[in-house]
Structure 1
Amino acid sequence: MASTAVLAALIAVPAAAQQAPMPSSTDGSIANSAAALQDGPQADSSDTIVVTGSRIRRAGLDNAAPVAEITSQAITDRGFITAADALNNLPSNAPVLNQADGSGNSSGPGYQAPNLFNLGPGRTLTLFNGRRMVTSGSGIGAGDGVGNAFVDANIIPLGLLDRVEVYQGGGAAVYGSDAIAGVVNYIVKKDFAGLELDAQNGISSRGDYATHSLRATAGRNFGDGRGNVAIDLGYSKSPTLMFSARPLSNLGRLTVSNSADTGPADGIPAVKEIFNAAFWPFNANGVIFTRPAPVQPFLARSGGNALQFAPDGSVVPYNTGAIQGIPFASGGDGFKYQALAGLRTGVERYTANLVGHYDLTDHLTLSTELLYARTTGTEIPQGNSYTTLNAGSYSGPIAFTIANPFLTAQARTLLSGASAAFASGAPLYLSKYFYDLTPSNDQTTRTDTYRAALALNGDFDVGSRNFYWSLAGSYARVDGAQRSWQVVNNRFQNAISAVASGGQIVCAINADATVANDDAACAPINPFGDGNVSAAARNYVSTRAGIDWKNEQVDLLATLGGTVARLPMGNADFSIAYEHRDERARFDPLAANRAGSFGTGVRQIAQSGAYNTDEASAELIVPLVGKDFTLPLVRLLEATGAFRYVDNSYAGHQNVWDLGLRWEVVRGVTLRGSRSRNFRAPTLTQLLAPSSSGLNSTGFDPCDADRIASGPNPAQRRASCLALFTANPGYGVDADGTGVGLSADARLARFQDPSENFQRATVTTGGNTALRNEISNTWTYGILLQPRFVPGLTISADRIEIDLRDGLSAFTTADFAAACYDDPDPAAGVCSAFTRLATSDGLSPGGTIVTGTTTTFNAGVIRYRGENYVIDYQFAPGDLLGGGDLGRLQLTAAATHTTLLTTSVTGTTFARTDGTYLSPTWVGRFNAAWSKGPLRLTYQLQYRDRTAAGANVSIETTPNPVLARNIVHDVSAQVDIGTVALRLGVDNLTDKDPSYPQIAYGDILGRRFYAGARIKLN
């Protein structure tokens, strides 16, 4: 039975990678579990290893920066079915939950990537056995709008996973791009032998959210122990979930303008809560209007009652609910707000992993890895709506007359009585949300990941010094496909216009006198009621839409390491490395996307590209004090250094470095610190995303009269805009000539840019080939205590500070405008990213933004300050109680304290999110694990601090400015009788809801049970 020592890894104690864990018959020592393809071969003796954060073999697990660990035993204890589940338990990791936020947006494509310190998934590097992996997503309409490079944790096979090491704070000098916040390294078992079959099922206390996991792992040694091969096959599935499935998310809560608010300092919130929120201008049956505008006077009425269609197509009274403005109401028959999209994305996963190695000689080892993973995420985005809210666009309301053959006799009679104009042939307007217009409302994102790696590792001696080397290469590819059903705009217009002809209902285009517009495939749509669209009409108007993408990576790595010199204080060790990497990406929109046949009509363009990078790095560890050479209060002093030179074919040259110091004051008291410069290179998506243009609104215009006194520097904004209006006398002059002859100051004071809210500008979206690397400076410093008078006790505290500049930011037209006018010396290309009307075009005033850009730009700034704390105590209770075997107990508390997280997209306007639910001040875990013989019991408490509901909120801005602290309890039990091991667990034991009203601050799934079994055969 495994020791309880491994439980510390569950909550990612930084100390865990600083000392070897207690012996475990299940896991073995960390020193002996390094992966076969870890960069550089493993040492011949079991007391030297490679730890994430360095390629130098160490005689111990000491590091100048904090390294956390998650073991395979910890994953089993908690019943995790994916590596993402385990990462989401790290206090320093901001969980990615595949969950909608309640704003109406969908729950995402199912990706779950590490996000250390909430700096963004693209700023945490993922490794597999110490080597880079190919990015999972396309970044284009597939869940990652800024094109970040990330590796989906769902693709990691669990059967052969030995542990996960998490280096916190930098790492780019050793591993290259993306290691800003840190590095996550998945390390597989090296010498697995035997057969293991594992199965687990889970279900919530409400009888839903059933999860399943199956794994088969087999391995054997051969060649008299010189070789080993192992394979792991896995399957797991978690389902979609709707908002209506949980009480908190089913409240239908929204905030709307509060008429009781009298001013900015009255203690009355500017908004108020409503519940059972609904869109009163439309529903799934169809709300009837006399004019195509979402205002109450235009609701069709009979006998004073507003009207709607019933599911069968008859006309019945419509209850608008308590209208709160446009478009929301509380209660009534409108479309329920919580039904807009799904709550959770369902993910199905297939994984396969083969690892093998063979010692060709005593000093030469050949290793290989093969990995395949298919993940399919299913989300439920918003459906197809044709409503008065979108009048004048492709998704405006549906006009119908008394001649429509799908109207029932009852509907004709009632509507004719309600509207004499309708009885005479004038149209009414149907405002409706369709559930049945396409074969499915689901959107799926499937990725197939392939990876093959081969390495030749060796070592040799020169005198008394040992050197080790590695030549390794890998090829990896991701084939991705996003799919959804969309409605073809022109076909919908054909099918919605139905007439009676020859005793049948047909499309009007096939019954008119014009033969040229006939379409034999056209099948008319019955829009009245719900569920009345025929299969033929559905097939006619629907098209398969989406994008295919392919990411490819070829990585070649050569390393050499060993001892430079044997000093009285210890060995001075080094590692040098050369890496060449080719990255390629291709984006292929489907035919409907290329044609722009649905939605706003934007045409997507296929594009492909590639870059390569050549990188050289060197590391050195030099003991300054130690062994036979010590000083008072200096038992050990060790300096580390790393340097990396990067030559990227797009982003150019970059030098990054890392300096560290470890000082053992006395035995059991160690101080440590590091200072590093790290970088992230732009991805192919950010560089080469296909360009597309279409009419759109631009967002806030800084020169608009409503915005001119806002921003980080209102005086600078006003001065910039005034200079603009002075140089352009047509700016601020309306279509009717109002404003002609006024001073620039007067024209500016009355300027209103209609492109803020209306689709007046042609906005181009795409990549930016002029991007540079983003750069961060990182400091870590901390203390590690292992008092000799309390065996088994480890205490650590580490401070982490990260400053990032030139951040790769997703820039909209509004962002470019703000950066242009708020900065006295704006960066090149900022002010030319948009243009304005020189004079009125007869509709909009001069100065209106008429072209804009949405792309990635180097302007972001991030500042992070925080600490990681860990107390870990493992002991035998019997030793403290006078003897007797009472098993072993481990108690661990770990926490991340965030004191500052401020971000800026533009580099001029900053937002602090520390102390909010996105980055709470304190996140903690407490674990207790007891084991004796075959029995193992575990308990975990997850803690989230009392926090603000958002940035800069108060009772003046929201009725709920503070979220209560959130505590969740989990328990599990495992019995291991040798061949068979059984486990049971309960997550969220007390069925604790997230902290009201935020559905993501806590566990929305509620109480869940799981049961699993593992069969082990030798």
Structure 2
Amino acid sequence: MMNASNVGNAVMKRRRTKRMALMGSVAIFLGSSGALAQTDPAAAPPAATASDPAQAEAPATPVAASEDDKTIIVTGSRIRRTAADLDQPAEVLGSAEIAQRGYTDLGRALQELPAFGVPANSQIGSQGSYNAGASFANLYNLGSQRTLSLVNGQRFVSSASSSIFGAVAGSPVDLNSIPTTLIDRVETLSVGGAPIYGSDAIAGTVNIILKKNYQGLHLDAQTGIAQKGDAAEQQVSLLAGRNFAEDRGNVTLSVQYNHQDGLPTSARYYTGGNKPFFGTALAGSDNVYSLYQGGLHYNEFTNTGMPLFADSYPTLSGKPYAGITNAAGQTLYFNNSGQLAVFNPGQTTGSQLYGAGGDGFAIGDYENLITRSDRVQATLLAHYDFSDHIRLSAEGWYGHTSASNISAQPFYNTALFANAGETNGNLILSTANPYLSAADRATIVSNLVANGQDPSTFYLARANTDLATGAFTTTTDLYRVVGDLAGDFTIGSHNFNWDVSGTYGRVRSTSRSREVVTQNYYNALNAVTDASGNIVCATGYANATIPTFSSTCAPLNVFGVNQASQAALDYISADARSTQLNQQYDIIASLGGDIVRLPAGAVKFSLGYEHRYESVNFDPGAFAYGEENGDGTRTQYGNSIPIDPVRGSYHTNEGFGELSIPLVAPAMHVPLIYNLSLQGSARYVDNSIVNRGFWAYSGGGVYAPTRDISFRGNYTRSFRSPAITEAYAPTGSVFNTANDPCDARYLTAGPNPTRRQANCAAAGLPSNFNSNIVDYTAQGTTGGNPNLQNEVANSWTAGGVLTPRWLPGLTVSADYIKIDIKNEIATLGAEDLLNACYDSDDYPNNSFCSTFTRDASGQVTSFTGGNYNLAVEKFRAVQATVDYRFPLTRLGLPESAGALGLGANWLHTAKHYYRIGSGDQTYTVGTTQEPTDNVTANLNYYNGGLNFLWQTQYYGPTKITVNAPQTTYEYPNVKQYFMFNTSIGYTLNDRFRVRLVVDNVLDKTVPFPYAVSATRYYSAIIGRYFHLNFGIDF
């Protein structure tokens, strides 16, 4: 957002400061948590020109301001001030760093900063039911919904789905909507932001600053591929800009196209179906889980089909149970070609349901590793100075994305999920099915007779990977316009600035998948032979009321894999489509300036008003909505429960104010006080969802005893308002599995095992209780809660910055960060409800104990989940950075030797846990998702047009779990981990640039015992990866 002041001065200075500011921008290495760069385009010199190779090659934190204009607009403030007055820790990711590492999406680039955790959704890993390919920031692992993302200081419309089956909570911004070639830098402010920008800035604020004053024409092309020959990506981009009207205006255009090949988990060993895994230990083991080789393979079904003589399970613990067997008593299954063969259950584990290796269903092969995507983005930025004191700015955005989750779990027919004949239960098939060979028919009939069953029908358990892959595609169209009118004026000796801006954003997305219609599926399974000897559907069938790709029944062969005809697949499949429409209107008006001049400088203020309107409209489509029964209920068409539409909106009226008071300035020569300033800000928010207003406020200061060192501190009260989905989503059915705390496998786990054991015993459950919900789903309900209130966070930071004169170019900063969240909105499922009940100190009076039911044998039969303001979350960390850049002439070498740059960011998370209700803490830090120590260090070498980068990423030692005894897992610890990346680039004649980037240079693999986060250890899973980039400036 542009909060212009001294516009006229900036206009007059533009030409003479252009080169000075640009060259200064390469003098500081990326990663500083010191001064943030300006976001005020009116006061800024042009950000870059096409002929400036230094801008393209040197990672940089742009200088805070030129000598002509030391006051700037920093992220987290609307007051023009010096960057040294910032009282909160901040980090900067420069455009050169993004380009130098070859990133084509901002989400992955941000993850190189240790403060950013694994996002709730990204292009890596399994996607939610909607929003394939979206990527959201997750600062401090507090959740994407608690990180506020801005573009040029303005809110950006969210692309998140509002379905209860969406990927994320809240309304985070899809970072893939921002073209990387247009980014000048990304400023991340810790903790602060709520009094300045409003809701969602609990963890902090990410402000994406664009290249608003670009001059020239730049073309860029990049390609990348893994050493294994897959996961390819391509990107081409154009960036063009030109000043006009004697430099009073500028127009900048960015057009970017990106393609990313998809990749299933089966493409890599450590994510595929044969990877090592922790499974239930055998009886007598000292551990709950043992490490098995060969992959987790379910023995209760295969994707080729397992025949049974009863509606049960073909095997239990790898031994024959209700499955068809041969004369030797060995369980049989259909092989790939559809013939009965001996089933290999693999190595026996402590689970009745799965083995290690063997012929069972290798579930790990059927997930998404990389989302396939195509993105086209066009952005136009323009501004014009009507006079020396008034500037008009505008932005126009269009983005089109098509992203596909290429693989996911199929729908199943198994006794694990339902009774035979129901949608997900075992199939009931005729022994006269013409697709059975005579020998196989005889074997099945013989088993039926021997077990006293009707010989005319048998059962089939199957994972239907060849009928419905679980893949879906989300197509998104984004439109956004911003208008901003800003200026300044003087009354006497006081300078004032004003700003009025309006933003409209609109995102429409459609998710599409091919889904099996149950009624037609059953019709096609009822295959017979007609008088001519042809296999056809039995007569008398009725098609489902929802259209399928073909209305003509064709017989379906489910024996083996990929045996079905296309005609049969078209008959049983429907085109399922859902749509999501998000809209945002935001109007902001502000007035700022100086009130009075003190000996240390002017006391400055900013006052403003904001009105924001947000709406969502989610339509699940005819297939997901289900068939109306006429009595207010609906019947599902396929294997998914009926999904309700979500419609809602809210508006806010917000007033804000800010004050900056300089107490001591360097020119005053006060002993032991080089600089001293105080800041304060507040915002009142009236949100139509929440039934009362809320005050957010912040206060802090900066104290520098000398020019070499400064100390800073800040206290902030921030908040997050409920999202529309969280408040208004209709109640719907869900199916959950859960690690029942009263199950013998988990009875001694949890934050307080003694309390858990006592409560489970009081419930009448024996110490050897085996809970079905651990392995079998139970049906429950979930939905929105219109009584939700704001989440509230009380946070403070304290730290300092060292910039010693005796070592020019060195900046060291360190800050302690404390965030306490209460009334946190949590979406609770079956496991959360069970834990909250049995881990509480007020059992059985805890309210969560009434949210589920057990039958007489103790099995969970139902639960009521949903959103509650019942969680607390606490976070404690130390964040530090080191930046050092120096010419090698300091070592006595000639100027031709070049320069070195060192940048390192470190996050040490001392504590991070959440608690639901009155239960005990559940810790998250110390796992592979959130290592206690996380470091990224960059070593750069510059020499003319040459730039070389060596990057080291470090994750400290972690544990498989931190909420259970060490004996829970056979190998509970994961050792420290190093990853190395490199980049080498060269610019020729200030015009041509080529860069080679290698990720995971040493081709390091996943650390033992291999149970790690696919997103955090992405490079280890993919293996060595190459990017090649070409750029040319005109």
For the superposition of Structure 1 and Structure 2, which TM-score range results when normalised by the shorter chain?
0.7 to 0.9
Could you tell me which residue of structure 1 aligns to residue 867 of structure 2? 856
Asked if 1:73 corresponds to 2:96, the answer is yes
1:961 is matched by which residue type in structure 2?
P
Aligned-pair CA distance for 1:31: 13
Structure 2 Cα separation of the partners of residues 412 and 62 of structure 1: 83
1:856 is matched by which residue type in structure 2?
N
What TM-score comes out, normalization by structure 2 length?
A: 0.86
Structure 1 Cα separation of the partners of residues 768 and 296 of structure 2: 35
Asked if 1:536 corresponds to 2:559, the answer is no
Could you tell me which residue of structure 1 aligns to residue 684 of structure 2? 645
Structure 2 Cα separation of the partners of residues 680 and 778 of structure 1: 14
Aligned-pair CA distance for 1:954: 5.1
Aligned-pair CA distance for 1:224: 1.8
Could you tell me which residue of structure 2 aligns to residue 795 of structure 1? 812
Asked if 1:558 corresponds to 2:589, the answer is yes
1:58 is matched by which residue type in structure 2?
R
Of the candidates 594, 613, 616, which is equivalent to residue 652 of structure 2? 613
Of the candidates 1008, 1013, 1025, which is equivalent to residue 1008 of structure 1? 1025
Going from structure 1 to structure 2, the CA distance change for 1:143 and 1:893 (only over 3 Å counts) comes to same
Structure 2 Cα separation of the partners of residues 774 and 897 of structure 1: 25
Could you tell me which residue of structure 2 aligns to residue 318 of structure 1? 343
Structure 1 Cα separation of the partners of residues 554 and 729 of structure 2: 37
Local SS of the residue matching 1:202: strand
Going from structure 1 to structure 2, the CA distance change for 1:65 and 1:828 (only over 3 Å counts) comes to farther
Structure 2 Cα separation of the partners of residues 334 and 31 of structure 1: 53
Of the candidates 51, 64, 81, which is equivalent to residue 74 of structure 2? 51
Please say if residues 679 and 774 of structure 1, whose CA atoms lie closer than 8 Å, have aligned partners that are also in contact.
yes
Please say if residues 641 and 658 of structure 1, whose CA atoms lie closer than 8 Å, have aligned partners that are also in contact.
yes
Structure 2 Cα separation of the partners of residues 472 and 602 of structure 1: 44
Aligned-pair CA distance for 1:280: 2.2
Local SS of the residue matching 1:619: strand
2:428 is matched by which residue type in structure 1?
A
Of the candidates 346, 365, 376, which is equivalent to residue 372 of structure 2? 346
Going from structure 1 to structure 2, the CA distance change for 1:73 and 1:212 (only over 3 Å counts) comes to same
Structure 1 Cα separation of the partners of residues 98 and 646 of structure 2: 41
Asked if 1:385 corresponds to 2:412, the answer is yes
Local SS of the residue matching 1:301: coil
Could you tell me which residue of structure 1 aligns to residue 1011 of structure 2? 998
1:487 is matched by which residue type in structure 2?
V
Which range is displaced more, 658-667 or 629-638? Answer: 629-638
Asked if 1:444 corresponds to 2:461, the answer is no
Could you tell me which residue of structure 1 aligns to residue 9 of structure 2? none
Deviation sequence 1:153-182 (CA, Å, 0-9, x none): 111012321111110123101110000111
Going from structure 1 to structure 2, the CA distance change for 1:952 and 1:238 (only over 3 Å counts) comes to same
Structure 1 Cα separation of the partners of residues 689 and 302 of structure 2: 50
Could you tell me which residue of structure 1 aligns to residue 268 of structure 2? 246
Asked if 1:492 corresponds to 2:521, the answer is yes
Which range is displaced more, 544-553 or 135-144? Answer: 135-144
Could you tell me which residue of structure 1 aligns to residue 7 of structure 2? none
Aligned-pair CA distance for 1:97: 8.7
Asked if 1:275 corresponds to 2:262, the answer is no
Asked if 1:434 corresponds to 2:479, the answer is no
Could you tell me which residue of structure 1 aligns to residue 636 of structure 2? 597
Please say if residues 812 and 883 of structure 2, whose CA atoms lie closer than 8 Å, have aligned partners that are also in contact.
yes
2:353 is matched by which residue type in structure 1?
P
Could you tell me which residue of structure 1 aligns to residue 905 of structure 2? 894
Could you tell me which residue of structure 1 aligns to residue 16 of structure 2? none
Going from structure 1 to structure 2, the CA distance change for 1:310 and 1:705 (only over 3 Å counts) comes to closer
Aligned-pair CA distance for 1:981: 1.1
Going from structure 1 to structure 2, the CA distance change for 1:4 and 1:472 (only over 3 Å counts) comes to closer
Of the candidates 109, 113, 120, which is equivalent to residue 132 of structure 2? 109
Aligned-pair CA distance for 1:233: 0.7
Which range is displaced more, 375-384 or 814-823? Answer: 814-823
Going from structure 1 to structure 2, the CA distance change for 1:713 and 1:944 (only over 3 Å counts) comes to closer
Instruction: Please list, as runs of the form range in 1=range in 2, the aligned pairs for 1:126-141 lying within 5 A after superposition.
Output: 126-140=149-163
Which range is displaced more, 18-27 or 89-98? Answer: 18-27
Aligned-pair CA distance for 1:586: 0.9
1:649 is matched by which residue type in structure 2?
S
Aligned-pair CA distance for 1:932: 1.6
Which range is displaced more, 420-429 or 357-366? Answer: 420-429
Aligned-pair CA distance for 1:572: 1.2
Could you tell me which residue of structure 2 aligns to residue 683 of structure 1? 723
Which range is displaced more, 200-209 or 811-820? Answer: 811-820
Identity of aligned residues (%): 34
Aligned-pair CA distance for 1:344: 2.5
Structure 2 Cα separation of the partners of residues 664 and 111 of structure 1: 43
1:892 is matched by which residue type in structure 2?
G
Which range is displaced more, 120-129 or 941-950? Answer: 941-950
Structure 1 Cα separation of the partners of residues 343 and 201 of structure 2: 57
Going from structure 1 to structure 2, the CA distance change for 1:962 and 1:598 (only over 3 Å counts) comes to farther
Deviation sequence 1:227-273 (CA, Å, 0-9, x none): 1111111111222222232233344222223236455xxxx565342
What TM-score comes out, normalization by structure 1 length?
A: 0.88
Local SS of the residue matching 1:244: helix
Asked if 1:477 corresponds to 2:506, the answer is yes
Which range is displaced more, 661-670 or 752-761? Answer: 752-761
Structure 2 Cα separation of the partners of residues 761 and 330 of structure 1: 26
Going from structure 1 to structure 2, the CA distance change for 1:893 and 1:501 (only over 3 Å counts) comes to same
Could you tell me which residue of structure 2 aligns to residue 658 of structure 1? 698
Local SS of the residue matching 2:196: helix
Going from structure 1 to structure 2, the CA distance change for 1:359 and 1:473 (only over 3 Å counts) comes to same
Instruction: Please list, as runs of the form range in 1=range in 2, the aligned pairs for 1:296-445 lying within 5 A after superposition.
Output: 296-304=320-328, 305-324=330-349, 325-379=351-405, 380-392=407-419, 393-416=422-445, 420=449, 425-438=455-468, 441-445=470-474
Local SS of the residue matching 2:895: coil
Local SS of the residue matching 2:416: helix
Going from structure 1 to structure 2, the CA distance change for 1:798 and 1:520 (only over 3 Å counts) comes to closer
Structure 1 Cα separation of the partners of residues 79 and 204 of structure 2: 18
Please say if residues 248 and 999 of structure 1, whose CA atoms lie closer than 8 Å, have aligned partners that are also in contact.
no
Going from structure 1 to structure 2, the CA distance change for 1:278 and 1:400 (only over 3 Å counts) comes to same
Which range is displaced more, 531-540 or 500-509? Answer: 500-509
Could you tell me which residue of structure 2 aligns to residue 515 of structure 1? none
1:316 is matched by which residue type in structure 2?
A
Please say if residues 131 and 161 of structure 2, whose CA atoms lie closer than 8 Å, have aligned partners that are also in contact.
no
Structure 1 Cα separation of the partners of residues 270 and 558 of structure 2: 33
Please say if residues 314 and 410 of structure 1, whose CA atoms lie closer than 8 Å, have aligned partners that are also in contact.
no
Aligned-pair CA distance for 1:428: 2.8
Going from structure 1 to structure 2, the CA distance change for 1:154 and 1:182 (only over 3 Å counts) comes to same
Please say if residues 861 and 907 of structure 1, whose CA atoms lie closer than 8 Å, have aligned partners that are also in contact.
no
Asked if 1:258 corresponds to 2:281, the answer is yes
Going from structure 1 to structure 2, the CA distance change for 1:689 and 1:391 (only over 3 Å counts) comes to closer
Could you tell me which residue of structure 2 aligns to residue 507 of structure 1? 537
1:783 is matched by which residue type in structure 2?
G
Of the candidates 162, 170, 179, which is equivalent to residue 184 of structure 2? 162
Local SS of the residue matching 1:390: coil
Aligned-pair CA distance for 1:220: 1.4
1:663 is matched by which residue type in structure 2?
Y
Please say if residues 163 and 646 of structure 2, whose CA atoms lie closer than 8 Å, have aligned partners that are also in contact.
no
Please say if residues 218 and 240 of structure 2, whose CA atoms lie closer than 8 Å, have aligned partners that are also in contact.
yes
Structure 1 Cα separation of the partners of residues 225 and 124 of structure 2: 23
Aligned-pair CA distance for 1:141: 5.6
Deviation sequence 1:639-678 (CA, Å, 0-9, x none): 0101111111111310011111100111111011111111
Aligned-pair CA distance for 1:456: 0.4
Structure 1 Cα separation of the partners of residues 454 and 636 of structure 2: 35
Local SS of the residue matching 1:372: strand
Deviation sequence 1:912-957 (CA, Å, 0-9, x none): 1222212211111111112122111111111111222222355411
Going from structure 1 to structure 2, the CA distance change for 1:1013 and 1:241 (only over 3 Å counts) comes to same
Of the candidates 660, 665, 674, which is equivalent to residue 635 of structure 1? 674
Aligned-pair CA distance for 1:587: 1.2
Which range is displaced more, 747-756 or 306-315? Answer: 747-756
Going from structure 1 to structure 2, the CA distance change for 1:821 and 1:927 (only over 3 Å counts) comes to closer
Going from structure 1 to structure 2, the CA distance change for 1:390 and 1:849 (only over 3 Å counts) comes to closer
Local SS of the residue matching 2:934: strand
Could you tell me which residue of structure 2 aligns to residue 735 of structure 1? none
Going from structure 1 to structure 2, the CA distance change for 1:918 and 1:483 (only over 3 Å counts) comes to same
